[in-house]
Amino acid sequence: MSSGKYSAISGAVARMQMLENISEHLAAAKTPGYKKGTVTFEAKLGEATSGLATKGTNYSRLTEQEIDFTPGHIEFSGDPLDLAINGDGFFQIQRPDGSFGYARKGNFQLNGDGQLIDTNGLPVMGAGGGEIVLPHPDVDIGPDGVIWADQEKVGQVGLFQFADTSILKRAGGEMFQPVDDTQPELHPEPQIVQKNLEASNIDMMKTMVRMTSNLRAFEATQKALKIYSDMGAKAAEIGLVQ
């Protein structure tokens, strides 16, 4: 197989991976607090440093996905348990295994015991640690996360921040977790907006343009593969001529 065919195959695979990334964005465009993953292409020149190689072959591949934590715009919902974060920070969610996940998605609700939970039924943590239990859903929540019910303070939603968000990885659903043992700090100046939700940070117009350009690039790699295949078949025929 010619080196050009290898390059075309690697390009086709990379474009397929990019299209999968774009499809994920389109599917999650309406998910509150969703953060898109960004990937880029990189070229790798194979055999270029080998003393035995007579030529190098250029391969393309995608880099590791990085999470874009750019805030989405805030949209009014009217539900008193819907919370949006204005600026940086994360809500702390307790996972089934006891560890903590961090999310921007703030459409919360109460379970049968009055416990504040996320859409997956997992408890939302308070600023001082521990779960939040409310007498009813009709509460007032201030920018600092303090919850008032019937003019009485009944809890405080915790807002946490990481000095470096690049250490965060996806942890299922809309949650994130640090890749090491780094612990977040309680946000010193939380800005929580009640009865609102943060939209995803996906730009639909740009995403559709990316999808179109990647589809065209994928089609181009398919054509290149066909050309190299035809060239290989012709070369084989010529080799058979006595």
Domain of residue 118, residue span: 74-198
CA separation for the pair 95, 170 (Å, rounded): 13
Residue 194: its H or E element: strand 192-194
Q: Say if residue 170 is in the same domain as residue 86.
A: yes
Q: What is the pLDDT of residue 1?
A: 47
Q: Say if residue 85 is in the same domain as residue 178.
A: yes
Q: What is the pLDDT of residue 88?
A: 95
Q: Report the domain count for the chain.
A: 2
Angle at 176 between CA 170 and CA 177, to 5 degrees: 100
157-188 residue pLDDT tens? 999 999 999 999 998 778 999 999 899 999 99
Q: Say if residue 87 is in the same domain as residue 194.
A: yes
Q: Say if residue 26 is in the same domain as residue 102.
A: no
CA separation for the pair 204, 40 (Å, rounded): 19
Q: What is the pLDDT of residue 242?
A: 47
Q: What is the pLDDT of residue 56?
A: 47
- Is 55 strand, coil or helix? coil
For residue 105, which of 115, 92, 116 has the smallest C-alpha distance?
92
Does the predicted TM-score (pTM) go above 0.85? no
Q: What is the pLDDT of residue 221?
A: 78
Q: Say if residue 192 is in the same domain as residue 207.
A: no
Q: Say if residue 15 is in the same domain as residue 108.
A: no
| Strand 37-38 to 66-67 pairing | antiparallel
Q: What is the pLDDT of residue 47?
A: 47
End-to-end CA distance of the chain: 23
| Helix, strand, coil abundance in the chain, percent, nearest 5 | 25, 30, 45
Positive/negative CA dihedral, 22, 23, 27, 28? negative
Instruction: Please check whether residue 147 is in contact with residue 141, taking contact to mean a CB–CB distance below 8 angstroms.
Output: yes
Q: Say if residue 150 is in the same domain as residue 190.
A: yes
Q: Say if residue 51 is in the same domain as residue 132.
A: no
Which residues in the chain come in under a pLDDT of 70? 1-8, 10-11, 40-64, 228-242
